[in-house]
Chains A and B, each alone.
Chain A
């Protein structure tokens, strides 16, 4: 039905000026960009899948990694990410409402809805920053072995995770943080963790209630818990104390998990940030009446497309990082 539209202009097909897709130049270009950007994100998520399938038996369980909610103590897996998702969908809704008001040329409403959209985006970016900070800071701390595997600690009686501070011994020793100013200017040591390997090992030996948990995922879908004897043998492989996550070490498990987390959510966060910036520019244009004079609000529609795309990507990131 709709595909036969071109018949009307059949007489002057060669003269140019046809719009077979029925979309303006700007909108079409925005769609071009969105499709190519979608392919970029798909590449990232597919490579995440690649690494995950490669280490399918040892990949971290997202529920155990993202368990915090700001201003609340305790273990609340996923609630905060769900909230973030809702905020982003909500800001998408205000964006559609702005586009709708733009079609009807109601400037006041466009201003209001654009403002709400910007607020939603800002809340989302802020939440993501908080999520990053929490992830980088870390939770319980862990031990990295010579082979680069992560050993975490669990209290045998309650089954809860044990933080290093709960059991590590304090052994007085001189540890000096080697900073850039103390030696050759380009050489700087990593910041020292709160405990040495020796302190953690001694703490484990002295505390019969502590068991080691490895990265391996068992049949039941939980991480493998070693017995007390196995734990005592395993701790001998310890090489480093890891607290939090960065691009090289990750207390939650596979370091690739942290790398992809920073890369994909970072790239998405950067999109949201630029989206907010573009929205602000358009917002001021609306207030100045630029589109009122132009006679249409198509610009709002175009940034709207971008904004919804950011939301769309988040839906996928949410699924593949936090749910699956």
Chain B
């Protein structure tokens, strides 16, 4: 068991004195990120919804990136992956990332195709 803890987050930018302090620090960070998400979700700034990047609104990209950031800190500090060995950490993190990226790509691509079939086909769906 890893009893010693690595106490810095943000690549050493922020260093805590004890593990308990680090936990509260991460909580503050996660709360801020959630507050930003909810704020953006309620206000929906026009700049972010009007423009798209690779077929998706900028706003949605921001949400997804912030979610991954939150997931990173939950896994690294709460599930203390930060203190585990590299090999364990890599096995845990990269396996799902690889499989899930593939799944998402293939399902969304197919769904978009079906969408065009519904749109351009000769069958009416709205009656």
A binding-site residues for B, Cβ under 8 Å: 2-3, 5, 20-24, 27-28, 31, 34-35, 38-39, 42-43, 46-47, 49-57, 63, 77-79, 82, 85-86, 89-90, 92-93, 95-97, 99-100, 103, 145-147, 149, 214, 221, 237, 296, 298, 301, 304-305, 308-309, 311-312, 315-316, 318-319, 322-324
Contact = CB atoms under 8 A, between A and B. Distances in A.
B31 A86 contact: yes
Contacts of B3: 103
B2 interface: yes
Interface residues of B, number: 57
A50 B108 contact: yes
B51 interface: no
B85 A22 contact: yes
Interface of B: 1-3, 19-20, 23-24, 27, 30-31, 34-35, 37-38, 41-42, 44, 49, 60, 63-64, 66-67, 70-71, 74-75, 77-80, 84-88, 91-92, 95-96, 99-100, 103-104, 107-108, 110-112, 114-115, 118-119, 124-127
B104 to A, nearest CB: 5
A2 B86 CA distance: 7
Given A78-B41, A147-B126, A319-B67, A93 B75 contact: no
Contacts of A323: 37, 41, 60, 63
Nearest to B40: A323
B107 A308 contact: no
5 contacts: A22-B88, A85-B34, A149-B126, A312-B74, A316-B67
B17 to A, nearest CB: 14
B111 A50 contact: yes
Contacts of B86: 2-3
A27 B111 CA distance: 38
